[in-house]
Structure 1
Amino acid sequence: MSREIAFVHVPKTGGVSLLGCCRECGVRVLDHDLRTPYHISLATFKQHNPQYYSFAFVRNPWDRVVSSFFYLKSGGDRDDDQRDADKYLPYDSFREFVLGAFAAEDIFNQIHFRPQYQWISNEQGIAVDVIGRFESLEQDFQQIFHNLRLPVYRLHHSNRSKHDVFTSYYDEETWAVIGKAYQTDIELFNYAADFSGEGLE
């Protein structure tokens, strides 16, 4: 591979399914775990490696919150996830969680609930070259790899949270709370939708 390429792994956007393909093709992965001493932000990475072409994936914020909630409630896949669940999710239901946790901004310190734009921005704005969507993960992934002249693989979907269709967990009040909390993500990535579900991508 002659071109230097980086994949910015935004939590709960399908990235785990891409990791094997990226590593096999020599694509550098910028991990998202702020809880380790090895994490490097995209902004810092770009300062030292401006020649890199980078891409990332985003997800409908209402869907991502549901997925993150159930992922952590189930214990996640590492000890830090369980500790974060104990700290940030002392709630019996998803509704209680939304109304309680998002009343303060502390929840955004948990990596799975951090707004997506913060992972892929620097002082100038969005700092990745291409953004794919979780909602069309396989199609967008294959198109990105094809455009970069990398081998195109079939994805093996990994790390899925077990839950019902995300819209079933919301009422008008909780939908509005998440809409306000992730307003920047919603506007930047064009995830406009009212509570009826019209316009959902």
Structure 2
Amino acid sequence: MLYSYRYRFLFVHLAKTGGTSVRTALDGYRWRDPYFYPQFLCRKLSGLTKRRIGVRIPRHAKAITAQEMLPKDIFESLFKFAFVRNPWDLQVSSWYHISRERPHLLEGIDDFDAFLYWKLEDPKRPYHYIVDASTEPQWHSLMDFNGNQIVDFLGRYENLGEDYYEACRRIGLPKIPELPHKRQAKNRTDYRTYYTDYAYGLIDKHFRPDIDNLGYTFD
């Protein structure tokens, strides 16, 4: 999550949706924010106390976290945006990410079907943040306790460049930073080639909120 009081925006960072690139591009605007240094100090204090004072918002926190933590008038004044991604494509990205960054977690898992079972269905699977933050439907990060969307603008990974510039335009940034390309897998093919009927069904089951609310289909 990236928050700027001065520029009145809140970026809800969903995993594997191009969010690292967006954060990198917009990070410089934090330094111009009057509350950056108090926030920075609080994050450091939170780390030194092993999170006992509870002031740090996690990178992949849900929008409801900011709604609960910020004063109502401040939260409502912010331009809140996020990027979402086709859940079938997203899980292929997760497979490559974990294979690259945490290969020790995948010992004994030798294909995509086994990976999805381990990640989504295995009762012995580790807590999802140990795996990555894409185990839960994206929609759950965008809604309030009543299931209503509380994010003003949803960009799509499939249209990342154009939607990023649209978000910056709506924020009203004096200069739109170039969007870098971060963490792209170099050796993967079209996500549809990874799916068996079994794997398709797991995504259809576990990510039904994304399919219903974000309009994604397998094709």
Same fold (TM over 0.5): yes
Match of 1:141 in 2: 164
Q: Is the 8 A contact 2:21 2:179 kept in 1?
A: yes
The AA in structure 2 aligned to 1:11 is A
Give 1:115 deviation, angstroms: 1.6
The two structures, once aligned, show a CA RMSD in angstroms of 2.6
The AA in structure 2 aligned to 1:168 is T
Q: Is the 8 A contact 2:13 2:82 kept in 1?
A: yes
Q: Work out the percentage of aligned pairs sharing the same amino acid.
A: 25
Tell whether 2:178 aligns with 1:157: no
CA separation of 1:152 and 1:128: change in aligned 2, threshold 3 A? same
2: CA distance, partners of 1:89 / 1:47: 39
Give 1:52 deviation, angstroms: 2.4
Structure index of larger Rg: 2
TM-score, reference length from structure 2: 0.71
Q: Is the 8 A contact 2:16 2:90 kept in 1?
A: yes
Among 124, 128, 150, the residue aligned to 1:109: 128
Aligned length: 179
User: 1:126 aligns to what SS in structure 2?
Assistant: coil
User: 2:83 aligns to what SS in structure 1?
Assistant: strand
Gaps of 5+ in 2: 36-49
The AA in structure 2 aligned to 1:17 is S
Deviating more after overlay: 133-142 vs 120-129 = 120-129
TM-score, reference length from structure 1: 0.77
2: CA distance, partners of 1:164 / 1:104: 26
Gaps of 5+ in 1: 29-35, 76-81
Q: Is the 8 A contact 2:82 2:154 kept in 1?
A: yes
Give 1:126 deviation, angstroms: 1.8
Q: Which has more helix, going by share of residues? A: 2
The AA in structure 1 aligned to 2:165 is Q
